[in-house]
Chains A and B, each alone.
Chain A
């Protein structure tokens, strides 16, 4: 029975599908979200149209927003089969500007988030950082080391990003599978630590 490779749907749906879990890859346009997903996904990243809620620019508090609109965006994602019973989905947030949006659909039930930063445009990540903070989602900030150069030290970047020490800050290379894996593990270790404290 364990030699059956595929679940057999004709057995009245008996084959239980794998448990799906997900993580969210966020950050500004062009920071390397799709590259990150592609590096570790076992399928070429897929794109689907989904709805997000956009918040009027200029608001100061995502929880008290008067003007929201639903917008259709293209969202890409990949998947890693961790074992036959467990699939990890990675969803890249749609490349929006740095103002308000709500990916509630994307983030509901997510294990954690990775906010990717390009040090040349730090402020592009703030909306994602704020959103995850508001949602209480465990997340790390990953500096994508384009071309292997990092001209700033991490403390300096942390200061500029204005993130608390509780948010891990990691250097990684979006093109390197092992590097992406390790950045995701930092997020998951944080999620585990938080869950253990609950």
Chain B
């Protein structure tokens, strides 16, 4: 679908090296390839529409969402204190027994979250399932955690530098079969 309007590279005729405007900044008056149209692209309908939707969408959280985000340094996870708006997308959220007991008394959004997290879910999955902006889910999950209805498990902060984690991920991924059922290492059925 993207093939008909290409201009920067030509198939079969060698590679054209395009300009990298922000790496080697062109002079002010130099015509920078493509840069003139970029701001227009950046504010294309999709972006604008979703921004509007988010502004209108979050619903009855009880207070302006944006304002509340910056003042809620309440999440204590695995011995670390984290700002709610810093909680990574993959943070796991799990309902507690108290949360299940409290289900009937919870507000609509809170109810949905507590009900969804009977199995561990990431903040990103929660936001996608409940169709809330990620930051809204962060705030709500933070509130529910404070009330004891959820536990919040932030990912291991240094996972990216932890050799054993990296090796586990590599081993796990190698064992994922391809579409013919072959794993990476063995080229054998898993």
Contacts and interface: CB of A to CB of B under 8 A. Distances in A.
A97 B34 CA distance: 11
A176 B180 CA distance: 10
Interface in B118-154: 118-120, 122, 124-125, 127-129, 132-135, 151, 153
Given A89-B124, A185-B174, A6 B17 contact: no
B102 interface: no
Interface in A69-118: 71-74, 77, 79-80, 82-83, 86-89, 91, 96-100, 105-106, 108-112, 118
A181 interface: yes
B178 A7 contact: no
A90 B53 CA distance: 25
Contacts, number: 269
A192 B170 contact: yes
A89 B122 contact: yes
A191 B165 CA distance: 11
B72 interface: no
A32 to B, nearest CB: 10
Given A100-B22, A130-B23, A162-B17, A10 B9 contact: no
B15 interface: yes
A31 to B, nearest CB: 8
Q: Which of B8, B125, B173, B184 has the most CB of A within 10 A?
A: B173
B18 interface: yes
Nearest to B114: A9
B129 A178 contact: no
A29 to B, nearest CB: 8
28 contacts: A7-B119, A9-B96, A9-B97, A9-B118, A13-B96, A19-B165, A29-B2, A46-B125, A49-B132, A56-B39, A59-B22, A72-B51, A72-B133, A77-B124, A79-B122, A80-B173, A82-B169, A82-B173, A98-B34, A120-B6, A123-B8, A130-B22, A146-B3, A152-B15, A160-B18, A176-B178, A178-B177, A191-B160
Interface of A: 6-7, 9-13, 15-22, 29-31, 40, 46-51, 54, 56-62, 71-74, 77, 79-80, 82-83, 86-89, 91, 96-100, 105-106, 108-112, 118-123, 126-127, 130, 146, 149, 151-152, 156-157, 159-160, 162, 176-179, 181-182, 184-185, 188-189, 191-192, 195-196, 198
Interface of B: 1-3, 6, 8-9, 11-12, 14-23, 25, 32-35, 38-39, 41-42, 46-47, 50-51, 53-55, 57, 86, 88-92, 94-97, 99-100, 117-120, 122, 124-125, 127-129, 132-135, 151, 153, 155-157, 159-163, 165-170, 172-180, 182, 184
